[in-house]
Every structure is written in C-alpha cells, then in structure tokens.
A and B are shown apart, each in its own frame.
Chain A
C-alpha cells in the first residue's frame, strides 16, 4: 500500500511541476506572482471540451484551445500585470498580485457561467491502468509524467543553452540593463509569459486526461501546490520547482496513506514549513532563471 501511494505521488508530481515551473519563471522574470497562472490550465481544458462538444476533431480542438488560451493569457498580462511594470512606486509588487487574483476569479466565474459550476467530462481521457508487478499505474498520469519531463527538459535547454534563454536570464537579472543592451525586454517578457501559459495549458489538459474531469474552480488546489513547490524548490529556480513538485507529490501521497485523503493538504504544507525552517531560501538557492 505504501509503495503504491509513493508511485501515485511521483506520478501526480508531473502536473504539479508544470504549474510550478510557470509560476517560478514568471516570478523570476517579472518579479510578480501571476495568481491567474493555473487558471490558464482550466481555460485550455474547458476550451477543448467546448470545441469537441461543437463537433471539432480532437487535434484541431487542441490547436483552437491553445490559441484561445494564449489570447486570454495575453489579455491578462496586458491588463493585470503590465501596468505594474510601468510603475515603480509603493505596492508595485502587490498591485499586479491582487489584479491577477481578480483576473483568475473572472476566468473561474466566467467558465462557471458558460459551462455551469460543475465537473465536466474531458473528452480525451486515458483512464486505464497498467500493472507493474503488484502495483497499478494510471495510464493518464504516466503520460502526464512523460509529457512533463519532456517539456521541462526542453525548457531547461531553452533557458540555459540558447540565445533566447540568455536574453530571458538577462531580463530577469537586470531589466534596465537588458534594455540598454539592445534587448526588446517587453517582447522577451511576453514570449516567456506565453511559454509559461502554454505549460499551464498543457498541465490543465493533462488533469483532464488523467482524472477524466475538469471544473471551473479546479485551478485553486493546483495553484496552491504550484506555489508551494516553487517556494520549496527556491523561487526562480527551474530545477528547484521540479524537485519541489516531487516532494509535494510524495508528501501528499504519504499523508493520504497515513492520515486519510481529507488531510492531504496538511502534508503539502508540512513540507513547506519543514523546508523553510531548514533552508529559508528553498532548496536551490542559486536560481536558474535569475
């Protein structure tokens, strides 16, 4: 039973890592928390449901969902986050934080109005299991883990080993200096934001693939886990976010195993407090983006 729960914990962490990496990347580059980040995942998932419901084939549905989600992400960036960048007085950090909480609520309530405040069946489900020895492995979660690993490895290569990544790191470390070095910092920020939104979109769809259901308010627990994973791993660090997500997946599984599923979040926050008590800056102090 314990080992089965550990397997489940590792499998679940792929989706958490996708969310966590987006949070940490945006914070690393823009210096703000985008609280609407996980809602982009919900938007992508319900957009697919809507398309497939309207008779669109799965593959074009994914493309349409990606475009819709990117447009919405762009609007959120322009309205909630960008004003904070052009202003450097008091509360320059809090302003976009609160604004993005508002944006997230608008997306959640909007989805609830359009689709009803209920769980929706995700059309591209993968709900079977395969056996590994005595243990069961969810096909959906196994796929999620593989997709997450591939995307995160790709992101790491992009950020650490390409010219674009060098520009991203420069903007994260000193935005004004990047600008006077001839880097179009607004463009870099927008591209990085789009990449993080796409990762959230994939994560939201993987929730649907793995668990079969998505809902307008589904993003809240994922946002909390993504944020905790980011802090546990060390804010701004991409590998840190992945390790943080893994720890949280395991902590959640162990709490469910020992204390029951109602207390699952207790384990998540126990990890957060324990890590912060030992290493206040998180596990990875040397951030990858910054």
Chain B
C-alpha cells in the first residue's frame, strides 16, 4: 500500500544550522503518528520541511507524489493540511472568513455541510463566527487553526504542538476532536508534540526526535511503558 506520507533522508537546515538530519519516517493511510522530542529537537523544522517552508534536501512523497519542488500552496492543494506552531491566524479576519478561506479548494456545494461538520467538532466556533480572530482566546484560536484546515478536506494533517499554551480542559476538547477525526474520518495524521502524554495517547506509532536525529521508532503502547521514555518525556 502507498504510504500517505513518506520521508527519506530529509535534512532541514537554516543556513549553517542543521535542525533535522537525515530523517526517515512514514505515515500509513488512516494512521496517526507522533513525533515526540524536547525543545529545539527539530520537530517544527521537520514539518516546515515537509511544507517547503524551510530549505531541505531528501525525498518527501505524499500518496506517491513527490513534493520536493512544490510551493507550499500547491502542497496544501494536494491534500496536506498543516496546523503550524503558534496558530498563524489572520488577526483581522473573522472566524467565518478563516473557515471560508480554508474551504476554497472544495466544491462550493460541499461547503455548508463541511461547515456544519466543523462546527459540530468545535461548537464554540459557531458562537464566535463573527468575531475577528485576534480577539479570541488561545484555545479558540487553536480550534480555528485546526478547523480552517479541515474545511479543505485534507487527507493528511500535520499538527505542530496543538496543546501548546492551552489549559488541560481545552486540550481535552482539541484532542477529543482529533481522536474523532482519526477514528470516524480515518484521517492520516503526523502529530508533533512536546506533550508526550497526549501524543502517545492519541497515536498508534511514534518517533523520538533528539537534537535533529530520529533515535527511535515504536508503537505508542511500548513507548508509554518504557522506563527511559517515561523519565525523559512523561516525567515519571
């Protein structure tokens, strides 16, 4: 079976600084895969590399299609939805406008139904539809960042620390939504997280990234019970 995402020998660098070195990973269709690692390990750089937002070498294939030379908007249109670190919303657009922008690549007739589905996932956004995003709370902004990507019906989601800066109850909402997308929609996901507890609970397989190098790959279940992982990433 063709992998949803396949990364081979990928190196991401910022000038002389090498943030990811010779990484390889795969995400099968419908699979949720986590990449865990501490601050500065290169998690965000890995995703930026996939989206062609940072300079990189190596091979990146999405459903068999090579992505290396494509610009980010073309990669998005191919079906990869990217929720970046720090949300990156449009501060003076309303929630409604963000969602409308996100739906540009699906047929007009499908948009109302998609909007209902997204509001079902994040009911809070329906109440905030007319509000500009810069006045939303951090949790609501994170919901918009995920929701606007879902509007375009991606087949693969790249998520960069969706738990960052959110209170545990809001994290619950966000991760419950992701879990539903994984089980009900069979959406492939590559989740990058410092919050290893959340990541290992949501995903089935994980990679460990340490200072730019992937050092381990295993099932989440195994990693959750591994003493070394527990002390390094789960704090107990």
Contacts and interface: CB of A to CB of B under 8 A. Distances in A.
Contact of A170 (B76, B101, B149): B101
Interface string B113-135: 00000000000000000000000
Contacts of A179: 53, 71-73, 76
Interface residues of B, number: 24
A183 B101 contact: yes
B90 A163 contact: no
A177 B83 CA distance: 9
A161 to B, nearest CB: 11
Interface string A73-106: 0000000000000000000000000000000000
A117 interface: no
B76 A169 contact: no
B84 interface: yes
Contacts of B84: 176-177, 180
Contacts of B92: 169, 173, 286-287, 290
A174 interface: yes
B104 interface: yes
B73 A185 contact: yes
Nearest to A183: B73
Identify whether the interface residues of A are mostly helix, strand, loop, or mixed: helix
Given A163-B104, A185-B73, A180 B89 contact: no
A254 to B, nearest CB: 35
Contacts of B76: 179-182
Contacts of B230: none
Nearest to B84: A180
B84 to A, nearest CB: 7
Interface string A165-189: 0110110011011111111110000
A263 to B, nearest CB: 40
B151 to A, nearest CB: 10
B62 to A, nearest CB: 14
B130 to A, nearest CB: 15
A183 B104 CA distance: 9
A169 B82 CA distance: 20
Contacts of B101: 166-167, 170, 181, 183
A179 B48 CA distance: 12
B51 A177 contact: no
B93 interface: yes
Interface string A267-290: 000000000000000000011001
Given A170-B101, A176-B72, A179-B71, 12 more contacts: A163-B104, A166-B93, A167-B101, A173-B93, A174-B90, A174-B91, A179-B53, A179-B72, A180-B53, A180-B82, A181-B76, A181-B149
Interface of A: 163, 166-167, 169-170, 173-174, 176-185, 286-287, 290
23 contacts: A166-B100, A169-B90, A169-B92, A173-B90, A173-B91, A174-B89, A174-B90, A174-B91, A179-B71, A179-B73, A180-B53, A180-B72, A180-B76, A180-B82, A180-B88, A181-B101, A181-B148, A181-B149, A181-B152, A182-B105, A183-B101, A183-B104, A287-B92
Shortest 4 CB-CB distances between A and B: which pairs? A182-B76, A177-B88, A173-B90, A179-B72
Interface of B: 51, 53, 71-73, 76-77, 82, 84, 88-93, 97, 100-102, 104-105, 148-149, 152
